[in-house]
Amino acid sequence: MSNLVPRPLSVRTLGRRASLSDGMVVSSDPACAGVADLLANELESATGWRISRGGPEASSPAGTVRLRISSEFGGGAPAVRAGVAGEGYRVPAGPAGVAGEGYRLVSSEDGVEVVGAAPAGVFYGTRTLLQLLPADLHRAAPPGPTGAVEVEGVEVTDVPRFGWRGVHLDVARHFFPKNFLLRLVDLASFHKLNMLHLHLTDDQGWRFQVKRYPRLTEVGAWRRESPVGHYREGKKDGKPHGGFYTQADLAEVVAYAARRFVTVVPEVDMPGHMQAAIAAYPELGNTGKQFEVLTTWGISEDVLNMEESTVAFCSGVLNELMDVFPSPYIHIGGDECPTVQWEASERAAELCRERGLAGPKDLQGWFTARVAETVAKRGRSLVCWEEVLDAGAPAGCVIVPWRAETALSVAERAAASGHRVVMAPEPWLYFDWSYADDPAEPVAIRPAISVEKAYSLEPVPEGMPAEQEVMIAGAQCQLWTEYVATPEHAEYMYFPRVCAFAETVWSSRERSWPEFEPRLAAHLARLDALGVNYRPLAGPTPGQARVWPA
CA separation for the pair 22, 24 (Å, rounded): 6
Q: Are 25 and 540 in contact (CB under 8 A)?
A: no
Torsion sign over Cα 462, 464, 468, 469: positive
What integer pLDDT is reported at residue 72 of this predicted model?
A: 74
Q: Are strands 149-151 and 195-199 parallel, antiparallel or unpaired?
A: unpaired
Helix (H) or strand (E) run with residue 356 in it: none
Backbone angles phi, psi at 336, to 5 degrees: 45, 55
pLDDT attached to residue 74: 52
Beta bridge partners of 107: 112
Nearest CA-CA partner of 402 in 431, 381, 360:
431
Residue 90 CB neighbours (<10 A)? 25
- CATH for 10-158? 3.30.379.10
Q: Check: CB of residue 295 under 8 Å from CB of residue 229.
A: no
Q: Which amino acid is at 462?
A: E
CA 201 to chain centre: 16
Q: Is 273 a catalytic residue?
A: yes
**Catalytic residue from among 152, 336, 362, 469:** 336
Dihedral sign, CA of 252, 257, 263, 267? negative
Distance, in Å, from the CA atom of 248 to the CA atom of 164, rounded to the nearest integer, reads 26
Residue 37 falls in the annotated catalytic set: no
* Cα–Cα distance, 205 to 274 (Å, whole number): 9
For residue 323, report the phi and psi dihedrals to the nearest 5 degrees: -65, -35
Single out the residue of 108, 114, 17, 111 nearest to residue 75, CA to CA: 114
Q: What is the pLDDT of residue 497?
A: 98
Which pLDDT value is given to residue 95? 34
pTM of the entire structure? 0.95
- Per residue in 441-478, pLDDT tens? 999 999 999 999 999 999 999 999 988 999 999 999 99
Catalytic residue among 273, 331, 419, 489: 273
Q: Which of 202, 267, 387, 503 is catalytic?
A: 202
Contact between 167 and 236 under an 8 Å Cβ cutoff? The reply is no
| Portions of the chain given CATH number 3.20.20.80 | 164-337+366-508
3-state SS, 44-67, equals HHHHCCCCEEECCCCCCCCCEEEE
Residue 525: enclosing H or E segment and its boundaries? Answer: helix 513-530
Q: Are 469 and 161 in contact (CB under 8 A)?
A: no
Q: Are 183 and 167 spatial neighbours (Cβ–Cβ below 8 Å)? A: no
d(CA 22, CA 396): 52
Compute the distance between CA of residue 299 and CA of residue 147 in angstroms, rounded to an integer. 57
Whole-angstrom CA distances from 303 to 71, 270, 329, 354 are: 51, 8, 24, 20
pLDDT for res 98: 77
Q: Residue 253, Cα to own-chain centre: how many angstroms? A: 13
| DSSP secondary structure, 349-405, as one string | HHHHHHHT-SSGGGHHHHHHHHHHHHHHHTT-EEEEETHHHHHHPPTT-EEE---TT
Catalytic residue check, 323: no
Residue 384 CA neighbour count, 13 Å, CB half: 31
Rg (Cα) of the chain, in Å, rounded? Answer: 24
Q: In the chain, list all ranges with CATH 3.30.379.10.
A: 10-158
Residues of the chain with pLDDT under 50: 75-96
Q: The domain 164-337+366-508 is classified under which CATH number: 1.20.1560.10, 2.60.40.1840, 3.20.20.80, 3.40.50.880?
A: 3.20.20.80
